[in-house]
């Protein structure tokens, strides 16, 4: 219907304006404050601005989704188009539905972007500031993989390569079975390939005093099946920096080994669930929308609506940080508040005429 297209087009136009304004404002301030630290290279400056734009989008996009709805509602009320829609026989549910569907579609796109490598924008822009963008690496990594304890002196995330590898393999009784040393290893076909490895083998017999050591050189080893460089990098990140896809993959691998997956569940909730608060907040805000400016002060309504939207997202940003530091299930601190807002919005939508 034309009315649906008109409402959706008006909302998208306001969303693009609000989103662009917030992004330009945030990125400009960030560049001004960090300009002295940015390498004096045109390519790196462009890359820094790009990744800073993507990073700020994680905060500004959901806010723009809800704030744009407030601007759209304010326009419809002040121009008397809202009353006109009602006078023509349109129900309130029919009026808000195009905005909600459009906001949901935008949220799907946003969640999809959080499932890609763009989710690491903050980490990449920080690497540019520290002059290690072209040599992005992690040092002194120690990982447990079932009965193996693996040490990487240096890992190049983008090259999927590590230097100075040491693997200690134990049996179920915590007896050391072998030690593997190698200068380098590469991640290929879902596992780490080690060539020219030196293996110190502990061939145990029933009598521990009869154990013998064998030294084997130039051996080929495959280890850490499923532990990609990105996954290992995520394990060592202090912040919740990960894409949704990588967080799910890491969660499944860690759960198989009986390792705590709290950090990665928080990432999934933060980037995959919390953004859905935006479209459902729109339903709650619309429920309190006055018919005309005469009934309610639209400036005051818009102020409280925008303030409430920003406050809600500030609340969720805070609880994701708190959930990581305290011993409370993220399902209680994050998932329950999100579903509370969803159920409240559905209740308000049902009560609409």
pLDDT exceeds cutoff 80 at 236 = no
CA max distance for the chain: 95
Give 47-80 pLDDT, tens digit per residue.
889 999 999 998 899 999 999 999 999 999 888 8
329 CB neighbour count, 10 Å cutoff: 12
Calculate mean pLDDT across residues 340-348.
95
266 CB neighbour count, 10 Å cutoff: 22
pLDDT exceeds cutoff 90 at 252 = no
Calculate mean pLDDT across residues 84-98.
89
Per-residue pLDDT at 292: 76
**CA angle 115-118-122, nearest 5°?**
120
Q: Which two tokens stand for residue 183?
A: 């200068």
CA atoms within 13 A on the CB side of 219: 16
Give 173-232 pLDDT, tens digit per residue.
777 888 899 999 999 888 889 888 888 887 765 565 555 777 888 778 888 787 788 788
For the question of whether the overall pTM of this predicted structure is more than 0.75, the answer is: yes
Dihedral sign of CA atoms 149, 155, 157, 161 in order: negative
What's the distance, CA 250 to chain centroid?
A: 14
Instruction: State the Rg of the chain over Cα.
Output: 27
CA torsion 191-122-125-236 (nearest 10°) is -40
Per-residue pLDDT at 334: 92
Give 109-157 pLDDT, tens digit per residue.
999 999 988 888 888 888 888 776 655 677 888 888 778 888 888 888 7
Per-residue pLDDT at 255: 82
Phi, psi of 326 (to 5 degrees): -110, 160
Contact 88, 80 (CB under 8 A): no
Looking at the chain, how many residues does it have?
353
Dihedral sign of CA atoms 348, 277, 64, 90 in order: negative
Distance CA 272, CA 108 (A): 9
Calculate mean pLDDT across residues 316-345.
91
Contact 77, 299 (CB under 8 A): no
pLDDT exceeds cutoff 80 at 15 = yes
Contact 241, 119 (CB under 8 A): yes
Name the pLDDT band for 316 (thresholds 50, 70, 90).
Answer: very high
Name the pLDDT band for 35 (thresholds 50, 70, 90).
Answer: confident
Calculate mean pLDDT across residues 247-255.
83
Give 286-297 pLDDT, tens digit per residue.
998 887 776 657
State the residue for tokens 């993989």: 145
Per-residue pLDDT at 44: 84
Q: Which helix (H) or strand (E) holds 309?
A: helix 298-325
Higher pLDDT among residues 216 and 108, named by residue: 108
Q: Give which of 326, 340, 117, 304 is closest to 318, Cα–Cα.
A: 326
Per-residue pLDDT at 155: 87
- Which of 25-34, 39-48, 136-145, 338-347 tops mean pLDDT? 338-347
């Amino acid at each position: 219907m034309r009315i649906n297209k008109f409402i959706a087009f008006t909302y998208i136009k306001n969303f693009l304006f609000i989103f662009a304004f917030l992004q330009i404002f945030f990125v400009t301030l960030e560049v001004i404050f960090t300009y002295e630290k940015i390498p004096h290279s045109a390519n790196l400056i462009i890359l820094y601005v790009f990744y800073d734009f993507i990073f700020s989008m994680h905060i500004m996009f959901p806010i723009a989704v809800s704030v744009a709805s407030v601007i759209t509602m304010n326009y419809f009320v002040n121009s008397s188009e809202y009353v006109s829609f009602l006078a023509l026989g349109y129900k309130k549910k029919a009026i808000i539905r195009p905005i909600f569907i459009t906001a949901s579609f935008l949220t799907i796109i946003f969640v999809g972007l959080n499932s890609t490598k763009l989710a690491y924008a903050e980490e990449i822009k920080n690497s540019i500031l520290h002059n290690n963008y072209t040599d992005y690496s992690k040092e002194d990594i120690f990982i447990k993989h079932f009965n193996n304890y693996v040490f990487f002196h240096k890992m190049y995330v983008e090259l999927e390569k590590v230097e100075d590898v040491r693997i200690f393999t134990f049996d179920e009784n915590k007896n050391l079975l072998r030690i593997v040393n190698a200068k380098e290893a590469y991640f290929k076909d879902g596992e780490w390939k080690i060539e020219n490895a030196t293996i110190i083998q502990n061939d145990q017999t029933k009598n521990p005093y009869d154990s013998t050591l064998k030294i084997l050189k130039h051996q080929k080893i495959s280890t850490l099946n499923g532990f990609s460089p990105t996954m290992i990098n995520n394990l060592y990140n202090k912040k919740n920096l990960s894409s949704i896809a990588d967080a799910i993959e890491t969660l499944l691998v860690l759960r198989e080994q009986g390792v705590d997956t709290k950090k990665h569940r928080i990432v999934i909730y933060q980037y995959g669930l919390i953004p859905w608060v935006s479209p459902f907040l729109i339903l709650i805000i619309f429920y309190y929308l006055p018919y005309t400016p005469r009934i309610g002060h639209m400036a005051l309504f818009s102020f409280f609506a925008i303030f409430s939207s920003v406050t809600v997202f500030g609340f969720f940003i805070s609880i994701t940080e708190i959930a990581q530091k305290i011993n409370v299930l993220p399902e209680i601190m994050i998932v329950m508040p999100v579903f509370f807002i969803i159920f409240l919005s559905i209740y308000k939508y049902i009560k609409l005429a």
